[in-house]
Amino acid sequence: MSTLADAAQEIEKTLRLRTLILGLQFFEKIAEMECIKNLRRPDSKRVFCQIITQARTYGWTIGIAVEDLIHNSFCPAMLGLYERPTFMRDGTYKGSIWFENKADAKKYEDSMPVIPSGRFNAVAIGPLSSDRLEPQIVLVYGNPAQIMLLINGLQWKDYERLTFFCVGESSCADAIAQCYLSNKPSLAIPCYGERRFGHTQDDELVIALPPPSLERAHDGLKQLQRKGVRFPIPLFGVQADPTEAMPDVFKRYHSMV
């Protein structure tokens, strides 16, 4: 098993994640994707958040091309599988529901991160622990405490203050496309569509990571565990003296103030 697959399994166990950590691998040729062992293909058209949920809950490795996705969604364009048509660029499409006017809808469409079209023709997604993919992006779903600790693990070494984005109605773009374009971790709040069609739960967030970042987060989580930082986070009384629950080093500095 690869180091990345090992890291995914250990993080799933350490953070007690409800669903599996996923990898996304992009392909220039559909035939290359179809060489993956035990690959599944959709039996009817889907939106991508449905594919994500099948992979993270059922443990399937699923391959898709543009013909597997509903064309009047942003999914295939966000994944770089085709060029957005004019009605998805000028505010016509989203302006009919999500915004006061067409001008605001166009601002949204202009701001949305998308993977450039013309290079990829297929995408496979599946559990990292199955070790079938060589992913360019990793997806982790968890509650706020789990995702916070994952970020803490990521920041253990070579600290960086992370910045995240929200275009509104497209968490896939905020997570997957943003991560691909920036090569940095990208946290997203699951959107209305992902909740309705992908069944993402009210307590879930999603973070997309470059694969080396997952391994770094894994190493950092191990160090934090040694310091006593674990999930689930133990609660301490809201009316108690908080210094009683602080590590000794914090108590020393507290007494100096």
Say whether pLDDT at 36 is over 80: yes
Per-residue pLDDT tens over the stretch 16-25: 999 999 999 9
Q: Which long-range contacts (CB under 8 A, 24 or more apart) does 204-207 make?
A: 204/141, 204/142, 204/143, 205/141, 205/142, 205/143, 205/144, 205/147, 206/139, 206/140, 206/141, 206/171, 206/175, 207/139, 207/140, 207/142, 207/147, 207/150, 207/151, 207/175
Residue 246 inside a domain? The answer is no
106/136 Cα distance (integer angstroms): 29
* pLDDT in the model for residue 123: 98
pTM: 0.93
Q: Please check whether residue 253 lies inside any domain of the structure.
A: no
Question: How would residue 243 be classed by pLDDT, with cut points 50, 70 and 90?
Answer: confident
Would you state the structure tokens that stand for residue 220, as one six-digit string? 């950092």
**Could you report the per-residue pLDDT of 91-109, keeping only the tens digit for each?**
887 767 889 899 999 999 9
Sign of CA dihedral 39, 199, 78, 210: negative
pLDDT tens digit string along 190-216? 999 999 999 999 999 999 999 999 999
**Beta bridge partner(s), residue 63:** 124
8 A C-beta contact, residue 185 and residue 151: yes
φ/ψ bin of 214: left (φ > 0), alpha (ψ from -120 to 50), beta (otherwise): alpha
pLDDT band at 253 (very low <50, low <70, confident <90, very high): low
Question: Per the structure block, which two tokens stand in for 115?
Answer: 């993977």
Please state the rounded mean pLDDT for residues 51-69.
Answer: 97
Domain assignment present for residue 242? The answer is no
Average pLDDT on 106-128 reads: 95
SS3 category, 235: coil
Instruction: Give the distance, in angstroms, between the CA of residue 36 and the centroid of all CA atoms in the same chain.
Output: 22
Residue 252 belongs to some domain of the structure: no
pLDDT at site 15: 98
81: helix, strand or coil: coil
Residue 237, domain member (yes or no): no
> Number of folded domains in the chain?
1
State the residue range of the domain holding 34. Answer: 3-230
Whether 125 is covered by a domain: the verdict is: yes
Q: Is it the case that residue 48 has pLDDT exceeding 70? A: yes
248 assigned to some structural domain:
no
Question: Quick one: pLDDT at residue 72?
Answer: 73
Give domain status of residue 243, yes or no.
no
